[in-house]
Amino acid sequence: MIDRRISENLRRIRKARGMSLDTMSERTGVSKSMLGQIERGESNPTVSTIEKIAEGLKISFDELFYVREADVRVIDPDRTEVTREKEGKYRLKQIFGYDSRRPFEVYQAEIYPGGSMKDMTESEDAVRYITVIEGELQLLAEDESYNIGPGDEVRIAGGKGYRLENRSGLFARISLIVSFERSRRLR
């Protein structure tokens, strides 16, 4: 599986740069025949060969390993797996989760009447962006209380905790974007 990823990524990178195998060989110090075998999935490259390729092409090592996402990806939140749930309180769905190439995560949360949801982030570098899609909520942050409703958007700086409470008798839904500047951990 990893060999296939390396093969596909190497071929894609070479073609995107308009390079021949000869040119790639000159830049990387890896023989043309070896590069061809790697691209065709006929050879299992060693770590030192992968290092030469990455260094010669001036790319990060992991660019040869990552699974490339489709250019367009449609996500139906109703079919998305629930990642966290507190019975009778809230449900949290991960729309775009952790990815080392992306400095943010996207969630959708449903907060039930009488339910609440607290800050999930551990990182002081995580800035949270909340958009209320449906319902009315009470936002408690830094000893302050805010009433927020449909269309309201909130930014909460890193290191500042918060809690959302649904004090109404109606269902509430929010979009939550967690943007990371340095750290990327969610509990």
pLDDT tens column, 135-166 = 999 999 988 999 999 999 999 988 788 999 99
Mean pLDDT estimate for the chain: 85
3-state helix vs strand vs coil in the chain, percent to 5: 25, 35, 40
CATH 2.60.120.10 intervals, the chain: 77-180
| Answer CATH for 77-180 from 3.10.180.10, 3.30.70.270, 2.60.120.10, 3.40.640.10 | 2.60.120.10
Question: What pTM did the predictor assign?
Answer: 0.62
Q: In the structure, what pLDDT confidence band is assigned to residue 187 with cuts at 50, 70 and 90?
A: very low
Q: Which CATH superfamily is domain 2-64 in?
A: lambda repressor-like DNA-binding domains (1.10.260.40)
Termini Cα distance of the chain = 29
User: Is 183 a residue whose pLDDT tops 50?
Assistant: no
Say how far apart CA 132 and CA 108 lie, in whole Å: 10
Q: Which residue has the tokens 């998305």?
A: 80
Q: In the structure, what pLDDT confidence band is assigned to residue 181 with cuts at 50, 70 and 90?
A: low
Q: Which residue has the tokens 């839904």?
A: 173
The pLDDT tens digits for 9-50 are: 898 888 888 889 999 999 999 999 999 999 998 888 888 999
CA separation, residue 138 to residues 29, 109, 115, 143, 177 (Å): 61, 15, 11, 12, 18
Q: Which residue has the tokens 């596909």?
A: 8
CB distance 126 to 179 below 8 Å: yes
Q: State CA 129 to chain mean position distance.
A: 15
Helix (H) or strand (E) holding 136: none
Strands 116-118 and 90-96, sheet pairing: unpaired
CATH 1.10.260.40 intervals, the chain: 2-64
| pLDDT reported for residue 70 | 64
